[in-house]
Amino acid sequence: MTTALVEALSLSVMFGLRPVLTEVNLKLERGRAAVITGANGAGKSTLVHALCGLIGLSAGQARMFGQDIRRLRADDRRRVGVTLHRSMLYLNLTARENLEFYAKLNACQKPSEQAARWLERLGLGAVAEQRARDLSRGMEQRLALARAMIGEPELVLFDEPFASLDRQGAAVVGELIQELLARGGAALLTSHEPLTVKGAEPENYQLVSGRLLPAAAQPSRRTAWRWMLT
Ligand X SMILES: Nc1ncnc2c1ncn2[C@@H]1O[C@H](COP(=O)(O)OP(=O)(O)OP(=O)(O)O)[C@@H](O)[C@H]1O
Can you give the binding site for ligand X, defined by CB under 6 A? Answer: 15, 20, 38, 40-46, 192
Distance in Å, CB of 171 to another protein, minimum: 26
Residue 193, classified by CB atoms within 10 Å of its CB into exposed (0-12), middle (13-18) or buried (19+), is exposed
How far apart (Å, rounded) are the C-alpha atoms in residues 27 and 20? 19
Q: Which of 12, 45, 178, 191 binds Mg ion (CB under 5 A)?
A: 45
Rounded alpha-carbon distances, angstroms, from residue 224 to 166, 183, 194, 219, 227? 34, 39, 19, 5, 5
State the Cα–Cα distance between residues 71 and 229, nearest whole angstrom.
40
Task: State the nearest-atom distance from the C-beta of 42 to ligand X, in Å.
Answer: 4
- Can you tell me the distance from the alpha carbon of 203 to that of 214, in angstroms, rounded to the nearest whole number? 8
Question: Cα–chain-centroid distance for residue 57?
Answer: 18
Q: Which is nearer to Mg ion, 45 or 58 (CB)?
A: 45
Least separation in angstroms between residue 190's CB and ligand X is 7
The residues that touch another protein, with contacts defined as CB under 8 A, are 52, 54, 74-75, 77-78, 80, 82, 84, 86-93, 97, 101-102, 104-107, 132, 147
CB 14 → Mg ion: shortest distance, Å? 17
Nearer to Mg ion, 12 or 45 (CB): 45
Please tell me the distance from the alpha carbon of residue 17 to that of residue 13, in angstroms, as a whole number. Answer: 10
CB of 92 to another protein, least distance (A): 5
Select from Mg ion, ligand X, another protein, none the partner in contact with residue 224, using the beta carbon and a kind-dependent cut-off of 5 to 8 Å.
none
For residues 73 and 198, which CB has a smaller minimum distance to another protein in the complex?
Answer: 73
Give the C-alpha separation, 190 to 188, whole Å: 7
By beta-carbon proximity to another protein, the closer residue of 107 and 224 is 107
